[in-house]
Structure 1
Amino acid sequence: MVNQAVGQPRRHERPVMTFLGAVGTVTGSRFLLDGPACRVLVDAGLYQGLKSLRRRNWDPFPVDPHTLDHVLLTHAHLDHTGYLPRLARDGFSGRVSCTRETADLSAIVLRDSAHLQEEDARYANDAGFSRHDPALPLYDNKDVERALGLMTCADFDRAVELAPGVAATFRPAGHILGSATIGVQMGEHRVLFSGDLGRAHHPLLRPPADPPPSDTIVVESTYGDRRHPPADPQLLADAICRTVERRGSVLIPAFAVDRTELVLLELRRLREQGSIPDIPVFVDSPMALAALDVYRSAAARGGSQFRREARDLMAGLGVRGVQAARDVAASERLNRPRTPSIIISASGMATGGRVVHHLAHQLPDRRNTVVITGFQADGTRGRQLLEGARQVKIHGRYVPVRAEIVDVPDFSVHSDADETIQWLSRAPRPPSTVYVVHGEPASADALASRISAELGWLAVVPSYGERVLLD
């Protein structure tokens, strides 16, 4: 474990990296770089899933936030940005660097996160099911605004100076809009952080940029022990058709950033080719609607991260009959739909947000279907549903699971093991060490073994709080 630091950090003659998150789990991405010129945190993610991990969000940060000079963000997902307001609350006042789109999406994601935490705390206090009296949010909207005020935008492929002899370069990662791999040069040493790597077939974004020359690589392993199955375009269509025949409704928990856009694109394709019936589609996530606007604006501007067809796809995005549930009253009406419909709602792992209320109402009804569209971290409701849970706990009560649960992996925007190995193999020279992170233990161990066996590189799965020299 890393001890809490006080005062100014001791400057290191040689760069040192400390793993403060995303080890042994896919969430809580936090990597600390200490060098002679500055102290840099790469990602400030929130822990999600298992209670033992979520409790880390409440622990004092292992180093004094006042001593951080910079935070670099790979992308806007909560497990990479969601701890930033807490850092700002506890004294961090340095610079936060990220791409323009990550800044735009982070503003949406973090404001929503604070709102949900405040609402959950109020609900827990009113219902009396919290162990804490009173229940409190991890941070509030004031903390979010303080954090957002520290953000500066970086262009892709252009080095950002952090201190004398220290620079960061953002390159497209193809995972979500604005996502980047980040190369940090500290003196003579170059360390590359993959963030979350995308895939070759994203309908809007180009594949990840090839890795630059690096001495150390920190690579994700979300799917490090498996290959994505071949795409099955009928899987979603068949699930929708079965549900409509039962006079039920389809609930799709979807990440508000990127996943909702991809689901809407696929629904439009299925509707146009006549594979699904003409039923209402509701987008019940203010965050997703705001993110959709960011995607449209960014696609209209263009840039190196987009495919050529992205502008036309986003300009024409929509499905006949799509409706937005913009307020709480409209959302509540969807809990008991009068006719078969499709509801897309956040969050994607069913850990919070409006989708939790929809699950409470729709899981007990055998006519309904819940479609899971992406990775579900251990300890989340989405993971429980995938693993066949017959009941799940929602807001202090157990709810029976009678609805059909369908896994549609085609929407995953994480590289699988083969794709990650291929990306690493395109490095212009072997690094001295690859650190495998951002995966559950079996996934990280499997990917590290493949890197060693197939590429002949030194691959290490670090432990929480471990410190390593970068030289």
Structure 2
Amino acid sequence: MDREPDSVSPDKEAAPALTFLGATGTVTGSKYLFSAGSKKILIDCGLFQGFKQLRLRNWEALPIEPREIDAVILTHAHLDHSGYLPLLVRDGFAGKVYSTPATRDLCRILLPDSGYLQEEDAEYANRHHFSKHAPALPLYTREDAERSLHSFRTVEFGKAFDLGEGLTFQFLPAGHLLGAALTSLQFNGTSLLFSGDLGRPNDLLMAPPSVIRKTDYLVIESTYGDRSHDPADPQKILAEIINRTAARGGVVVIPAFAVGRAQTLLYAIHLLKEAKAIPDLPVFLNSPMAIEATGLYYEHLGEHRLNEAQCRAMVRTAHLVHSVEESKRVNALRDPMILISASGMATGGRVLHHLKTFAPDERNTIVFAGYQAGGTRGAAMAAGAKTIKIHGEYIPIRAEVIVLDQFSAHADADEILDWLGRFAVPPKETFITHGEPEAADALRHRIEEKVRWRCRVPDYLESVELG
């Protein structure tokens, strides 16, 4: 077992405690502070996204000094779980960030890109004078993000790692995304399991989450805690959308999460073309981050369902758009095509320029292939908004808008209950997080009714002792 030296003698009288610094009342901002003895460990370090009052929390100081945190453990790489790391390091955190190798590799792509986009958005706002701030500033820079990457240390799935003072942790595959991990902490005989984002049993790319038999305490996500995914075949529905749009001479624009969802869509489109279920339309992947992430599937064979030949076919499905100039040329095309671009909730990135161009035309279709957090442009469009504000300008939405949750990488309520049903022993308490209020409370109710476990939906900044 790996071990790092103890820096402080343990306080054996202190009961372990868990403080919820994010992912309460929202699907974003995942941060959980675990305190045991003299140790303070942050599990996940995510950005708040969506509603402005949530995003403003990113600018507020944490209720704990970053330099007081001994280590960060990441369940996976998505920005709502990792995107606050550059700020944490910039503001004084000097410990290690522990992750699986694939999570580290994805963060090397995601975090610098996040810093770059924030710098770019601030510069664009200043140049076009549509920000209320003078000047508009990025939350953090690409340089901040690159500096934070030096803090990473990888731990393989299934390997117990000793943090000192009787505190160990272990990663187990969670499905959902390359490198995504169920994270189990052990402290002097007490166990605490974090689901992170729980994958699905029959995902197109990822294997199902690991079976867990017991833990003393459980923190479970509830993104889809109040609903079930449509059982209809997502590839069949996607084919119908593409064929319908192409028949009217339109463009299919898919705002997609660059890591995970973009690759699933590419592989699904490859299968549809191979089966001749859709015409051989040009497909463009316009996201440098998604392009880099797609290459990682070769490097982590065995963590997903695809073999090397299938990875190659996935990559070859699309024309890869690297530069801004290429992006502008794609935006000028008007013939039927499929355009996949980040971000998945239309909160930033190149997809905004594509929406400005293609959303006003009724021949086109905008397909959201995943969860749309409240307060995002994606959520507004999914709810039927007639206009959305992009770069200070209101853009009319005349294109057909479709939400295709069947491609979600999150377990739905039924799948979560099935996963919980494999526990041999109920946890002492289950904390339901990472969901909108309705979803979290609905999952609480279902767990209490179906398996009769003790549950609670914690509040923001609430702290509980784990006896």
Verify same fold: TM over 0.5.
yes
How many angstroms apart in 2 are the aligned matches of 1:116 and 1:142? 12
How many angstroms apart in 2 are the aligned matches of 1:161 and 1:269? 44
How many angstroms apart in 1 are the aligned matches of 2:144 and 2:166? 32
| SS of alignment partner, residue 343 of structure 1 | strand
| Pairing partner for 2:368 from 372, 376, 382 | 372
The aligned residue for residue 429 of structure 2 is 433
Q: Deviations over 1:378-400 (max 9, x none)?
A: 01111111100000000111000
The aligned residue for residue 3 of structure 2 is none
The 5-angstrom pairing of residues 122-133 of structure 1 reads: 122-133=123-134
How many angstroms apart in 1 are the aligned matches of 2:294 and 2:315? 11
The 5-angstrom pairing of residues 104-119 of structure 1 reads: 104-119=105-120
Q: Which amino acid aligns with 1:275?
A: A
Q: Which amino acid aligns with 1:441?
A: P
CA drift at 1:118: 0.2
The 5-angstrom pairing of residues 68-467 of structure 1 reads: 68-232=69-233, 233-299=235-301, 302=302, 305-307=303-305, 309-319=306-316, 322-467=318-463
| SS of alignment partner, residue 423 of structure 1 | helix
CA drift at 1:438: 0.2
Q: Deviations over 1:166-221 (max 9, x none)?
A: 01100000010000010011222110000000001122321000124211000000
The aligned residue for residue 468 of structure 1 is 464
Name the TM-score, length of structure 1 as normaliser: 0.95
The aligned residue for residue 46 of structure 1 is 47
How many angstroms apart in 2 are the aligned matches of 1:344 and 1:449? 37
Q: Which amino acid aligns with 2:313?
A: G
CA drift at 1:264: 0.7
How many angstroms apart in 2 are the aligned matches of 1:462 and 1:101? 30
CA contact (8 A) 1:204 1:310 kept: no
How many angstroms apart in 1 are the aligned matches of 2:281 and 2:417? 42
The aligned residue for residue 4 of structure 2 is none
CA drift at 1:146: 1.9
| SS of alignment partner, residue 331 of structure 2 | coil
Aligned-pair identity (%): 49
CA contact (8 A) 1:205 1:310 kept: no
Q: Which amino acid aligns with 1:306?
A: H
The aligned residue for residue 5 of structure 1 is none
| SS of alignment partner, residue 238 of structure 2 | helix
How many angstroms apart in 2 are the aligned matches of 1:262 and 1:127? 36
How many angstroms apart in 1 are the aligned matches of 2:137 and 2:265? 34
CA contact (8 A) 1:37 1:166 kept: no
| SS of alignment partner, residue 49 of structure 1 | coil
Q: Which amino acid aligns with 1:41?
A: L
After TM superposition, the runs of 4+ consecutive aligned structure 1 residues lying more than 6 A away are: none
How many angstroms apart in 1 are the aligned matches of 2:114 and 2:105? 15
Q: Deviations over 1:270-308 (max 9, x none)?
A: 111111111110000000000001112212xx3xx333x
How many angstroms apart in 1 are the aligned matches of 2:438 and 2:289? 33
How many angstroms apart in 2 are the aligned matches of 1:216 and 1:397? 48
How many angstroms apart in 2 are the aligned matches of 1:454 and 1:245? 47
Return 213-222 or 330-339, whichever deviates more. 330-339
CA contact (8 A) 2:37 2:165 kept: no
Q: Which amino acid aligns with 1:466?
A: E
CA contact (8 A) 1:75 1:180 kept: yes
Count, aligned residues: 458
The aligned residue for residue 5 of structure 2 is none
How many angstroms apart in 1 are the aligned matches of 2:132 and 2:304? 47
The aligned residue for residue 33 of structure 1 is 34
CA contact (8 A) 1:173 1:207 kept: yes
How many angstroms apart in 1 are the aligned matches of 2:286 and 2:224? 29
| SS of alignment partner, residue 169 of structure 1 | strand
Q: Deviations over 1:83-130 (max 9, x none)?
A: 000000100010100000000001100011000000001011111111
Return 40-49 or 265-274, whichever deviates more. 265-274
Measured at CA, do residues 319 and 405 of structure 1 come closer, stay the same or move farther in structure 2, by a change above 3 Å?
A: farther
RMSD: 1.5
How many angstroms apart in 2 are the aligned matches of 1:179 and 1:25? 20
The aligned residue for residue 23 of structure 1 is 24
Q: Which amino acid aligns with 1:21?
A: G
Q: Deviations over 1:417-460 (max 9, x none)?
A: 01111111212311100000000001000101111111111000
Structure 1: give runs of 5+ residues left out of the alignment. Answer: 1-7
Name the TM-score, length of structure 2 as normaliser: 0.96
| SS of alignment partner, residue 389 of structure 1 | coil
How many angstroms apart in 2 are the aligned matches of 1:456 and 1:50? 34
Measured at CA, do residues 203 and 310 of structure 1 come closer, stay the same or move farther in structure 2, by a change above 3 Å?
A: farther
Structure 2: give runs of 5+ residues left out of the alignment. Answer: 1-7
Q: Which amino acid aligns with 2:215?
A: S
